Structure 1
Amino acid sequence: MEDIDEGPNDIENPYDLMLELGGFSLSPLRCIYGVPKRLRQGNDEEAYTRQVVSIGPLHHGKEHLNVMEYHKKRYLRDCLRRNRLNLEFYKRKIKGQEVKLRSCYAEPIRCSSEEFLRIILVDAVFMRYNNPKFRDEDDYIYYWVLADLRMLENQLTLFILEDLFDPGKYFDYADKPSIISLSYAVFNTPFFWKGSKDDILEGKSFMK
């Protein structure tokens, strides 16, 4: 009988194969969704379109958002200096959660593993430090991004922020605020809503 060529077994990145075969199956972990086309029709398009910053992979690389990529990388540089941790430390932590992270998106994330890790890391650091508690008084960028942070498609999962920035292990601030406290500080403003920390604590993504 003629041998059947089953193809190579040395696939380096399983995500590339998944994309080639048509994407992922739906996951019960999915909690970050795109805005349905039906909602966009007949409504103000700007209400669903980020104007300044992209968070997460869904709109990464859009030309009009590229200016903010420089500022987000500045936050990463400052984070590494402040906490005396190297880039590989964070990348390894994200890599360990990559399958779970991708499963949180309702649609396939069509980028390589390396690019996905980079997007999540840069954006997670930005979300962590673009906060009233840590910004400088002259940090105008904070005010620019508030509107975009409420966007449905501009989200990261809480678990990766908690995994990357466990205040009890990696940070040298005296009061060591938790991710939940920082989330509450951002979203409990007139710009968003008046609620409690429990509202955020129960959410899967940074903004429920």
Structure 2
Amino acid sequence: MGWEFIAFFFGAAALGIFLLLVVFIVGLLKWLLQGYFLFRVAEIKRYDLPWLAFIPFGTFYLGGQAYDGNILKKGSFQPKHIGLVFAIAGIILYLMGLSIGDIVITYLLMESIAFIGIFTAYVKQPIIGVLLALLNAVTAGIAAIIILFLYSRKLRDEHDGSVLNNEDFEDNASNDKQPQHPNDPNLNRNI
């Protein structure tokens, strides 16, 4: 009877180690994909310090910068300050977690709240941005990867993959139009 217990114990331990390895690999893939697509969006939109997309609380900083003009009135707060508030609040809430489960859930909820600005910039409606943030929390961050991927492609197509410069933002403010793509067939068309 003793050998069966030892065999059962080692079998359960091997299964547990395998499951932890799978969870680690899935988490690593989520982190890399989300970081890459957030980096692309931050680079094209000219957010401050886009490389923070690969740092866990740096995602809060970049997500907070997207609130300027999408959730809050454009220019009412400095985007860097909004991002800094999200990063500090995320760290404080993270450190207040009581157990591993609480810490993971707190991080996921803060990340979803920080990404509301990016989701709203993608869909152009704050209510749908909030619903996408809820979907992100329910899907453990998978929705953020998909939305960031789609948004980075949309920005790349709109701006030909180039980083926006200040003239593009000034043109948008005066014309309320997106910068036109150089291959747009309607660009030089007389109507």
The normalised TM-score by structure 2 is: 0.34
The higher relative CO (CA closer than 8 Å, separation ≥ 6) is in 1
The normalised TM-score by structure 1 is: 0.31
Higher-Rg member (1/2)? 2
